[in-house]
Amino acid sequence: MFKKRLELIFISIMLIAISILGYNYYKSYSFKNNDIPDNYKKRIADKEQEVLQNMQQNFGFIFKVPLIVTDKFKGKLYGLTSYKNGEIKIYLNKKVMQESMDYLVDSVIAHEYAHALMFKLGHLHTKDNGHSKKWQQTCVKLGGKDCQQYVDREEIIMSKMPFK
């Protein structure tokens, strides 16, 4: 009797585990092969509006840049601002959104907009890969919470913990 009950418990646990794995695979596959969810689009648009309001307040004008979500990035690059032939675009990495949407919204959008504004104002230099003191001040003025050159992965991990 005990052996039968133990087998039943084991089979139940295995079925639950397989169901969870299947569900997670489906969610990941769905996210990868479909457009980003509407709530992600709204969060990105809301943050962009906040950045543009901060730009108006701190710099006296609004400079809107196309925000393009792409899954073409290799690695864990969160965002990129391109300046080509006088045209400025901001690219956001779809591959990292599912795991780090809070960080992307709180830090990356203002970070990339700060690069775009530096390009617009003619502050083009490569000495510090575009992360000068002036860029950092601009990033903060635009509402960036973490205006560093590179992503702080420890900060992302710790922000997901139930304790702080």
Query: Would you kindly state where each structural domain of the chain is located, as residue ranges?
Result: 1-34, 36-159
- Two structure tokens written together for 85: 């032939």
* Mean pLDDT for the stretch of residues 88-116: 92
Tell me the two tokens of residue 134.
Answer: 């002036």
Host H or E run for residue 70: strand 67-70
Q: How confident is the model at residue 126, as a pLDDT?
A: 62
pLDDT of residue 93: 94
Positive/negative CA dihedral, 153, 156, 162, 164: positive
On the question of pLDDT at 154 being above 60, the answer is: no
From edge to edge, which strands make up the β-sheet containing 79-84? 67-70, 87-93, 79-84
- pLDDT class of 30 with cuts at 50, 70, 90: confident
Domain 36-159 has CATH 3.30.70.920: no
* Model confidence band, residue 152 (pLDDT cutoffs 50, 70, 90): low
The average pLDDT across 75-103 equals 90
User: How, if at all, do strands 67-70 and 79-84 pair?
Assistant: unpaired
Q: What span, in angstroms and rounded, lies between the C-alpha atoms of 7 and 38? A: 44
Mean pLDDT of 47-65: 96
Report the share of the chain in percent with pLDDT over 90. 55
Indicate the pTM of the whole model. Answer: 0.78
Identify the CA nearest to 136 among candidates 117, 157, 156. 117
CB distance 120 to 126 below 8 Å: no
Write down the pLDDT at residue 156: 45
